[in-house]
Structure 1
Amino acid sequence: FTHELPKQEFEDESKMFTESLVDLIVQFGSRDDALILILDDLQWADPESLSVIESVAARARRGNLGKLLMLGCYRSNEVNQEHPVQTRILQHEGPQAHVQLGPLSEEESNTLVEHLLDERSIQVTRLQRMTYLLTQGNPFYIREYLGFCLSRGIFRADEEGTEWIFDSALAQSASLSHGIASLVSDRIAELNAETKNLLLVASVVGNEVSLAAVDYLLRDRQITTPLLRSLTELSEKHLIYFSRDTLTFVHDKVREAAYQMAGNELRMDCHQGYAVWLDKQMTDTESNKKQRIASNELFELAYHLKNGRPQRNPTWSRRILLQAGRMALKVFAYQKALEYSQTAHQLLPDDAIASPELLDEFIQITELLGDARVLNEDPVGAVDLYTGILEHIDDNLHKTEICAKLCECNLTLFRYRDSIAAGEMGMKYLNKTIDTSELKSIAIVIATVIPFAASILVWLLFGRQTKSIESREDQVFYKLLVNLQVALFFSRPLCAISNQIRYTWGILR
């Protein structure tokens, strides 16, 4: 019923939908009956889904939901300390228990086989031993191997159809050249060309795929596929689920196998095609830009663009990657910011510096790449990038900002002389001065230390804050000043003290 929501800004509409969904969940619970919510694949949860979980949990803590048990499943190897599931759900206060699920034990594996076959006999026991030996308790592979045994006659009914037979000789000779994991690839390879093409294309897009996107990619590659027939076949072979609008892989191992079979050329074409399709879904209005960012669509677009053929439309590609890189820095995804900015930088033409139309873009991308390298612990590379763009910037405030970054990078590398030189250059761009003469600094300290201490004492007793750092100029200046002062403290401490007195006194007045 989302179509009935009033057309408002994306944030308001999203909040309204979240609260409506929580209200609906609340209706299923009562004071007497327990409500159990099972949430799978939390590692792929979008921000809106996490908001629903938080809201339900908050209502439960207030006693508005009766008896509630929430079971959340996620892959621990895909959820690090900075993952939204960790910061928004797992670190939340409240009664909770963590259960680490590993492979099934041999006894559990045998029970699963017995339940799947609905049989108990000596022949089933022999099959159980072989199944556990090959799968080591992985439930997905257990199911795959049972299907393999049934389809190849390894486990079959006798001629009278009264008993089951496990053919151990046939099991030993069966082709498993690449291990149990190859069973999925073998099943995909047996599909007809049209159906296999659909699966391979979908695997490039993601685990849950829009059918409209798949149709676009197939037509873009001039592949004619009867969509419904192929989807039905894939569903019957237990490779996907599908609804009116989406296709979902039954397991990530299925998608991984299909992705590997796609080949590099097909993968690059589909990544590029899907990036184009994503971009077409939204116009660049301000509200849609917010929606794109809020829904992580910008990052998805940049990911596929980076792995596709961005050189086909370098101008558009650089614009998207620049936006995504900046946003990645804001949400602390430093490695992604580095990847996006590196790709954008590689797409710049060799004569970008000499071109008035490209110079500003060159500066923006290069600065972003420098920022990303700093945050990925590569200050040496950042220094080279910042130095390379400094002479091409016209705005003095922007030049000062680059000098502040150079000052900080050199300070990190213990290059105090270079750090001070960058700081002095930045101060000149702001028409401000800094004391670097130790003789002059001694005189200033001796002459001002007592009245300075007195003014500090008066301010502590009677003063109040009347100034805050608001303008960009102030932000740049104080960032530069702090880094410069630290460099001076390590090389010329008297100069640092002199500057500290002078600028602090100026602020207090």
Structure 2
Amino acid sequence: MLEIVGIIAGIVAATSILLFGSRGLVDLVRGIADRKKRVNDHSSTVQESIEAVTSPPTIPDSTERPPSLLTEIPAVSTGAVFVGRKRELATLKSALEDAVAGRGRVVMLAGEPGIGKTRIVEELASYATATGSQVLWGRCYEDSGAPPYWPWIEVMRARVRDFDASQLLEQMGPGAAHIAEIVPEVRVKLPGLAAPPELEPEQARFQLFDSMTTFLANTSRLQPLVLALEDLHWADTSSLRMLDFLGSRIANTHLMVVGAYRDEEIPPEHPLSQTLGSLSAEPSFRLETLRRFSAEETASLIEATGGLPPTEDLVQRIQGHTEGNPMFVGEVVRLLEEQGGLDSSEADKGAALEVPESVRAVTRQRLRGLSAECNQTLLSAAVVGREFDFGLLRRLFPDATEAEVTDALGEATRVRLVEELPRQPGRYQFSHSLIQQALAESLSTTARAQTHADIALALEAHYGDRVDTHAVEMAYHFTESQAILGPGRAAHYELLAGESAYTGHAYEDALAHFQSGLTVKGVPFTGNEPAPDAEAAALLFGQGRAQSATLETYEQPLAIASSRRAFDYYDAVGDSERMVFVSESHGRAIARMGSSGVIPMISRALETVPGDSIAAGRLLSLLGRFIGLEDGDYDAAQNTIKRALEIARKQGDEAAEIQALISSAVVNAYEINWRAAIKDGLRALDLVNNIKDPRIEILVRSFCVYPQIATGALEHAKRNAADMLVLAKNLRELLPLSGALWCSELAARLSGEWQVSRDFNDQCLEITPHDVRPILTRTTMEYEVGDFDQGDTYLELLRERLRQTQSGPTLEYGFATLAIPVVSRISGADLGFDVASQSAEVVLNSPSSTLFITSMARAGLALMAVQIDDGAAAGAQYRELEPLRGTILAWTMAGDRLLGIVAQSMGELGKAASHFEDSLSFCRDGGFRPELAWTCCDYADLLLERNNEADRAQATSLLNESLGISTELGMRPLIERVLYRQKSLGT
């Protein structure tokens, strides 16, 4: 029973994707509503590019802002040298002051390696601690085997330590279970915590991000928090997505995020570039680029580091070699100190100094002054990573005594090449990542691989039975040492690391691990050949699932192809259970019109299970849905679903019955069989009360809302939409909330409640910017109220969705075909008939197109024909549009009004009048006020064309009614149209 409930919950996402269209790539929509709101509020204009936020901060006039309490407290010294950076530090302190006041801030520090990014953050951290804030550090590492989300795991661990169990549960709330998926310490403190529900990838990641953001925001009310994120150029994609998510929601918190990255290592295609582009649209964001030191600042640093004022000649020599890079300057000064060159008479006389040409060269020269034991220890530690453990070094040098390893590390610590981590006995880190890199790069390829092998074996022995929980670290070292140890364990740990990353919703990292495992085994990523063995099959299926979570909908056949190779292996060895699992995994995750490749897998899996089993019922339910949507075969789809219903009822399994009813409702909706869809939805709603799962109830109610709106039962739809929204807000999951918001938006828009509709639309697009439905409805709404600029913005987003979608009978193609002629008719301009015509051709030429999609295409062609006065072309679509009588077409216009417009263009005025009368009744009875106003105007046009006395009187009445509604609702284009007609009537 629980298994079936989990599968149905998966359909929530799948069906939502089906109705939403394809995923991703519409970053243009992000924050549109917020920008407009800020303009209306006369608040700060959103910066449209990173360059726009790099200007120096404006110091406010004392009359505009009370004096800061924080500035009265002097900064506390960290004990380390700090020179220059007064303006940048002032910016950071100002941002901290804002965060303390409840105006969260994100500040990014960019600059070359060694420019002082970490040092200025340390200075801020010292100041923040002294003024009552808590600083939480998160670091990113290059190729160190750190798991996904590592900087956030560090931040969360540090914060979790501050609370006992009851406090932690209070601050985390229902999000505790989601956070525990990547922060095990949460479950240690809360051992009775239930496992989170199984969700589709996009929902699961949203839930994790929302839970972590909520926890940090909640606890920042107890004490302001500074989150210091270092080396973001090495951050994994999932960590950057979390940063983006938090940054968009930080404004009303007591949080400050300060991040540092090397700008020279961030090309446009780097994930961090995308994150920065997104964050730059937020008024809470600021970017500071750290520049090299001037000669005066270099002199100050030399004096502070070496303890003596330098000669001008020495300053010029060091400045010339280092070009003012603070770390380079510091390392050169330390080298000269060690060589006795800083205070020598030769230096004072300006004698030639041998200054190395790079930080790496400085590091190598400094190592020459250390013992051989210290050098060997540091070389091995550098291969481990920026941070390393004393215990691991002991294992790497079994012949050395503990005292000898301690002495070696002490020697390196004294010359500040490494440092012991505070509050972490036995843990060390290199004082700068450049030092670690220089050491690691000094090893030959063979020596580095051998060191990785030594580390891998030492870690395996060290972790013992817990080794699988360190799969990412193990995968890194075994993969790097496969030339020494062979590919076997490398592939094993890459598989475990991939599964761990996938479970933690780090799908990009999971994909990298699965593909690394395939590479190790010599298995190509693409192709048709089955997996050669069970491990390869698991890696291919992992690749397929990770691709499904990260690729656009139109790219999903790539994911299916990966999993099909695993499926074929399981088929060959007779593993029916895994065949079913593979089929259902993609059956839940994919929902699109056009061939996905899922149907053959489901059909074959069905042959391997008992015909009357619950597994057969689940597969039949999925198969029926895909036959209806991909093959466009309504009868075959419903016959298949009927068999699934029979099995569910025979077994007495209500969850399986709900699954089948949902599939039936989907197929009925896409065949415009709205009344059957309502029947399915209401039956499923009766059963949901026994399941008690809000996800399923939200989905079921959505299949009451859609057909209720389509058939004119707007008030019933509003009640269901309101119930959905309550459930979704309590659930706090991405796709259920998005679906509930859109249902509420739709009901409000069709009632003429524009601002309510906009608010829901803004929220919907904020969390699911890929959702093509609110893009469609927002486009038409903005044109209806006469805001053509906003309408153009959303119409371009719709076109963008079209460009990013694979050619076929999809929602994107259907919506483009319909929306362009609809808004063109409102505006009186051709807004892309060529695009609409091409889209219609794609839809109508597809043999698998559903009636819902083809109706949009035919309606669009008919409306374009009307607007160019081609009655014959419009008439060619009339018969095919008759099923739209008594419905709302694609949540855009009344089917009867459309038929009336088409009939009028054909010269069938009597038939047109009948359609308009039906539309008047439909709109009045249902409460579709904007559509009623348009129907009144269009019907008046027909009556004026007939032009007899009775018709003119009725036309006058209809125009008055239309003007009253449109004036009340602020429908400017319609108002102008009506006034023009009234003027021609002399009224």
Same fold (TM over 0.5): yes
Q: Following TM superposition, by how much is the alpha carbon of 1:367 offset from its aligned partner in structure 2, in angstroms? A: 1.8
Q: Following TM superposition, by how much is the alpha carbon of 1:381 offset from its aligned partner in structure 2, in angstroms? A: 5.9
| Change in CA separation of 1:396 and 1:38 when aligned onto 2, cut-off 3 Å | closer
Q: Following TM superposition, by how much is the alpha carbon of 1:437 offset from its aligned partner in structure 2, in angstroms? A: 8.1
Q: Which residue of 1 aligns with 2:578?
A: 398
Paired residue total: 421
Q: Which residue of 1 aligns with 2:595?
A: 416
- One-letter code of the match for 1:257? A
| Change in CA separation of 1:238 and 1:88 when aligned onto 2, cut-off 3 Å | farther
| Change in CA separation of 1:465 and 1:427 when aligned onto 2, cut-off 3 Å | farther
In 1, Cα distance between equivalents of 2:218 and 2:596: 58
Q: Following TM superposition, by how much is the alpha carbon of 1:303 offset from its aligned partner in structure 2, in angstroms? A: 1.8
Unaligned runs of 5+ in 1: 1-32, 351-357, 471-484, 498-509
Deviation per residue, 1:366-395 (Å, 9 max, x gap): 322333455564867655543333333224
Q: Which residue of 1 aligns with 2:153?
A: 47
SS in 1 for 2:343: strand
In 1, Cα distance between equivalents of 2:693 and 2:137: 46
Q: Decide whether the 8 Å contact of 2:226 with 2:256 is kept in 1.
A: no
Correspondent of 1:182 among 354, 357, 361: 361
In 1, Cα distance between equivalents of 2:336 and 2:329: 11
| Change in CA separation of 1:149 and 1:41 when aligned onto 2, cut-off 3 Å | farther
Deviation per residue, 1:204-232 (Å, 9 max, x gap): 11222222211221338x99993244333
Correspondent of 1:257 among 400, 423, 438: 438
| Change in CA separation of 1:463 and 1:247 when aligned onto 2, cut-off 3 Å | closer
- One-letter code of the match for 2:569? H
Paired residues for 1:427-506 under 5 Å: 430=616, 432=620, 434=624, 438=633, 440=635, 449=673, 452=676, 455=679, 465-467=689-691, 491-494=847-850
Q: Which residue of 2 aligns with 1:131?
A: 318
- Whether 1:158 aligns to 2:345 is yes
- One-letter code of the match for 1:126? D
In 1, Cα distance between equivalents of 2:569 and 2:688: 42
Larger relative contact order (C-alpha < 8 A, sep ≥ 6)?
2
- Whether 1:304 aligns to 2:477 is yes
**What root-mean-square deviation, in Å, do the aligned CA atoms of Structure 1 and Structure 2 show?**
4.8
Q: Decide whether the 8 Å contact of 2:227 with 2:256 is kept in 1.
A: no
Deviation per residue, 1:272-305 (Å, 9 max, x gap): 2222222223343xxx57xx74xxx332222222
Unaligned runs of 5+ in 2: 1-129, 141-149, 164-215, 259-286, 524-531, 609-615, 640-667, 695-808, 812-842, 854-987
In 1, Cα distance between equivalents of 2:474 and 2:594: 40
Q: Following TM superposition, by how much is the alpha carbon of 1:83 offset from its aligned partner in structure 2, in angstroms? A: 1.7
SS in 2 for 1:332: coil
SS in 1 for 2:505: coil
Q: Which residue of 1 aligns with 2:397?
A: 218
Correspondent of 2:228 among 59, 72, 85: 72
| Change in CA separation of 1:49 and 1:224 when aligned onto 2, cut-off 3 Å | closer
- Whether 1:86 aligns to 2:243 is yes
- Whether 1:336 aligns to 2:509 is yes
- One-letter code of the match for 1:391? D
Deviation per residue, 1:389-426 (Å, 9 max, x gap): 333322435324434567799988x9628555455445
Q: Following TM superposition, by how much is the alpha carbon of 1:262 offset from its aligned partner in structure 2, in angstroms? A: 2.0
- Whether 1:109 aligns to 2:298 is yes
In 1, Cα distance between equivalents of 2:477 and 2:158: 28
In 2, Cα distance between equivalents of 1:240 and 1:439: 69
Q: Decide whether the 8 Å contact of 1:34 with 1:69 is kept in 2.
A: no
Q: Following TM superposition, by how much is the alpha carbon of 1:187 offset from its aligned partner in structure 2, in angstroms? A: 1.9
- One-letter code of the match for 2:471? L
Q: Which residue of 2 aligns with 1:170?
A: 352
In 2, Cα distance between equivalents of 1:316 and 1:181: 34
Paired residues for 1:5-24 under 5 Å: none
SS in 2 for 1:201: helix
Q: Following TM superposition, by how much is the alpha carbon of 1:322 offset from its aligned partner in structure 2, in angstroms? A: 1.9
| Change in CA separation of 1:73 and 1:137 when aligned onto 2, cut-off 3 Å | farther
In 1, Cα distance between equivalents of 2:851 and 2:408: 76
SS in 1 for 2:230: coil
Q: Decide whether the 8 Å contact of 1:403 with 1:423 is kept in 2.
A: yes
Q: Following TM superposition, by how much is the alpha carbon of 1:265 offset from its aligned partner in structure 2, in angstroms? A: 1.8
Q: Following TM superposition, by how much is the alpha carbon of 1:46 offset from its aligned partner in structure 2, in angstroms? A: 6.8
- One-letter code of the match for 1:259? A
- One-letter code of the match for 1:86? L
- Range that drifts further, 145-154 or 373-382: 373-382
Q: Following TM superposition, by how much is the alpha carbon of 1:264 offset from its aligned partner in structure 2, in angstroms? A: 1.7
So what's the TM-score if we normalise by structure 1? 0.65
| Change in CA separation of 1:420 and 1:493 when aligned onto 2, cut-off 3 Å | farther
In 2, Cα distance between equivalents of 1:245 and 1:380: 49
In 2, Cα distance between equivalents of 1:464 and 1:333: 32
Deviation per residue, 1:227-270 (Å, 9 max, x gap): 24433332233222358734432221111111111222222222
Deviation per residue, 1:432-490 (Å, 9 max, x gap): 36465859569998x994862562585599785445899xxxxxxxxxxxxxx989996
Q: Following TM superposition, by how much is the alpha carbon of 1:39 offset from its aligned partner in structure 2, in angstroms? A: 5.2
| Change in CA separation of 1:133 and 1:380 when aligned onto 2, cut-off 3 Å | farther
Q: Following TM superposition, by how much is the alpha carbon of 1:82 offset from its aligned partner in structure 2, in angstroms? A: 3.2
Paired residues for 1:221-236 under 5 Å: 226-236=404-414
- One-letter code of the match for 1:96? M
Largest Rg, 1 or 2? 2
Q: Decide whether the 8 Å contact of 1:198 with 1:225 is kept in 2.
A: no
Q: Decide whether the 8 Å contact of 2:495 with 2:539 is kept in 1.
A: yes
In 2, Cα distance between equivalents of 1:461 and 1:117: 77
Q: Decide whether the 8 Å contact of 1:383 with 1:410 is kept in 2.
A: no
| Change in CA separation of 1:454 and 1:48 when aligned onto 2, cut-off 3 Å | closer
So what's the TM-score if we normalise by structure 2? 0.36
Using the aligned pairs only, state the percent identity. 16
In 2, Cα distance between equivalents of 1:333 and 1:448: 39
SS in 2 for 1:156: coil
Q: Which residue of 1 aligns with 2:378?
A: 199
| Change in CA separation of 1:77 and 1:425 when aligned onto 2, cut-off 3 Å | same
In 2, Cα distance between equivalents of 1:462 and 1:386: 36
